Amino acid sequence: MIVLGYNGFTRGAELFGRLYGSTGVGRNLLVGHDAAAAVVIDGELVAAVEEERLSRVKKTSDFPAQAIEWCLEAAGVTLDQVDVVAFPWRFSPAVAEEMIAGISSADMPVTAKFDALRRAGEAYTGMLSREAVHGDFVERTGHPLDPNKLALVPHHLAHLMCGAYLAGSTDAAFVVSDGRAETLSSVMGELRGGVVRLFDECTVPLSSSLGVAYGRITRYLGFVPNNDEYKVMGLAAYGPPPQHNPLLERVVRLHESGSYTISIPQDVPAYFALFDSLFGGDSEKREEFDFRVEVAGMAQHMVEAVTAHQLRALTAASGLDHLLFEGGLALNCVANTKMLERSSFTGMDVSFGASDPGVAIGAAVYTAGLRNRPADAVTTPYLGPSYSESQVLDALAEYEDRVEWQQEPDATALAHRTAELLADRNVVGWFQGRAEFGPRALGNRSILANPAFPDIKDIINLRVKHREPFRPFAPVVLESEAPRVFEMGKKTSSPYMTFVFPVRQEYRELIPGACHVDGTARIQTIDERQNPVLAELLRVFLARTDVPCLLNTSFNVAGEPIVCSPRDALECFLATEIDHLVLDRFVVTKKGEGALP
């Protein structure tokens, strides 16, 4: 059975811009963002890529035409051979009725209700309904898809199935929490023997979305909601935990069932006024670093308190000892660690597709039928495009007036040459194999550096990434070395940068560039099976320097998608102060900036 899963709407950005006044990247951030495609053949995920990697439009919500084309080509199939097309949103007539009822019962003037109904109606008929989704697919692909072959999968179920498939476990309690699904923002339940059981009393409506609340505070602090929440999480570490939190005292109400109510106005001026009253802020104070740290700390504390409340209810309702956490909130790696360590769960998985890129995978997996994966199967995020040596050489030839390069004979020689460069204060672009899937660079499209240098974080933030100086970087470490360097708690590995751990005291002076201000690090663990080329580099680097990890950040600059092709890598390399580029087995240097030996 061949299943194509995809996420994205052709008209999404246009409709949300015109109907709801969204501008810039915000037009892509309401429904359908992180457009992507995935192909599952006979229960096995064989290819997946985000549209932004190919179109070079960050966070795009557009129909993923290029991603679909690449996935089918990589899988060696055509649209005619696809048995089912799976889409991770189900705006059924019943959902539409619920949307209408919600607007009709809202506390607003009649004229405002008519306006809201008009806008919702145009969005529904123009992009959300089954007919609109089917028409969009046919128009953009030119393929006369049988309507009976289009499967609409509820959004939260697609999130769950992505996590369940990639965890390789069928029995687990779960939490899915994000900005929005069709009408809900969070669900809990358990997965036993491939059967999903929702705990209905624990569901949280869209009107009380924790993700939306965190996003509104993100906007209040001057960042882009549904995009920059990780900046708020990073800022929070610069201050102590709040002694009291007005968000929990006046905005959030926790219910015995495990659900909650969050009361924040929808209108931007209204919730800015609310936050000013809660935090003692104004337009000037919002620019002050210490004030922003304090507010970020309260937002982070709110997430941690609410998710802990959910887990208490989930533990009481389910006797399972393993937890799956998926959805946009699952990218809050600080909260993830606290969720696990403060709960009775013995294990917890957060996938590399936890946010909306993963719903393309989840919709396909669900439609194909979730299957037990072999115990020895290697879960890999490296599902995207790779490039042949001839393609790499063609790209280098395009830039031969600006770069020079040397080819290493094999992977071992490449590791030694790269370790030699990284032993000094060099920043290295690292491009290998298939592109990783999801929002994190996991070692195939990465920028690497030596964390032994205290100022390396500032060098990368200011000279390479062109982003805020308070932003930390994640270390990548051999899984066998991780417990020696980091306090792992209940975890034995963290392959997708979805958990944060304290750096052991004796290592903080050795790897200062990898330590956040609070002495923690969002680590990625690697072993030989997952990524043999990067594992070899880490072994050689450790032997050469006694430094047990490398800094690993995404190979891009602020506002750009992670690089995908050799040409993307060369463009980014030449536009920044990255010192060297390791492109497959080619070590590349800019002409006039130090010749290769």
Give the per-residue pLDDT at 533: 97
Give the per-residue pLDDT at 596: 45
Give the per-residue pLDDT at 595: 43
The tokens of 8 are what? 């994205």
Q: Which residue has the tokens 């802990």?
A: 308
Q: Which residue has the tokens 């199967």?
A: 377
Q: In sequence order, what E strands does 527-575 have? A: 549-554
Q: Which residue has the tokens 């993830």?
A: 336
Give the per-residue pLDDT at 23: 63
Rounded Cα gap, residues 512 and 509, in angstroms: 5
Q: In sequence order, what E strands does 68-107 have? A: 84-87
Q: 571 and 585 in contact (C-beta within 8 Å)?
A: no
Buried b (16+ CB within 10 A) or exposed e, 69-90: ebbbebbebebeebebbbbbbb
Residue 199 backbone phi and psi in degrees, to 5:
-90, 95
Rounded Cα gap, residues 309 and 186, in angstroms: 13
* DSSP string covering 371-436: -PPPTTPPP-SB-S----HHHHHHHHHHTTTTEEEEE-SSHHHHHHHHHHHHHTT--EEEE-SSPB
Q: Around Cβ 577, how many Cβ atoms within 10 Å?
A: 14
Domains of the chain: 2-152 (3.30.420.40), 168-352 (3.30.420.40), 389-590 (3.90.870.20)
Rounded Cα gap, residues 89 and 136, in angstroms: 14
Give the per-residue pLDDT at 106: 83
Rounded Cα gap, residues 279 and 514, in angstroms: 32
Q: Which residues contact 387 (CB under 8 A, 6 or more apart)?
A: 395, 565, 566, 584
Rounded Cα gap, residues 566 and 588, in angstroms: 12
Q: Which residues contact 322 (CB under 8 A, 6 or more apart)?
A: 169, 171, 172, 173, 345, 346, 347, 348, 349
User: Of all helices (H) and strands (E), which one includes residue 189?
Assistant: strand 184-192
Buried b (16+ CB within 10 A) or exposed e, 101-110: eebeeeeeee
Give the per-residue pLDDT at 593: 65
Q: Tens digit of pLDDT for each residue in 62-94?
A: 999 999 999 999 999 999 999 999 999 999 999
3-state percent helix, strand, coil for the chain, nearest multiple of 5: 45, 20, 40
Q: In sequence order, what E strands does 529-583 have? A: 549-554, 580-583
Q: Residue 158 is which amino acid?
A: A
| Each residue's pLDDT expressed in tens, for the chain with a length of 597 residues | 999 999 999 988 888 888 877 666 555 456 778 999 999 999 999 999 999 999 999 999 999 999 999 999 999 999 999 999 999 999 999 999 998 998 898 888 999 999 989 998 999 999 999 999 999 999 999 999 999 999 999 999 999 999 999 998 679 999 999 998 999 999 999 999 889 999 999 999 999 999 999 999 999 999 988 788 989 999 999 999 999 999 999 999 999 999 999 999 988 899 999 999 999 999 899 999 999 999 999 999 999 999 999 999 999 999 899 999 999 999 999 999 999 999 999 999 999 999 999 999 999 999 998 876 666 677 899 999 999 999 999 999 999 999 999 999 999 999 999 999 999 989 999 999 999 999 999 999 999 999 999 989 888 888 887 777 777 889 999 999 999 999 999 999 999 999 999 999 999 999 999 999 999 999 999 999 999 999 999 999 999 999 999 999 999 988 899 999 999 999 999 999 999 999 999 999 999 765 444
Give the per-residue pLDDT at 14: 87
Give the per-residue pLDDT at 108: 84
Q: Residue 138 is which amino acid?
A: V
- 3-class state of residue 582 by DSSP: strand
* DSSP string covering 32-68: S-S-EEEEEETTEEEEEEEHHHHH--TT--S--HHHH
CA dihedral 232, 235, 241, 247 (to 10 degrees): -30
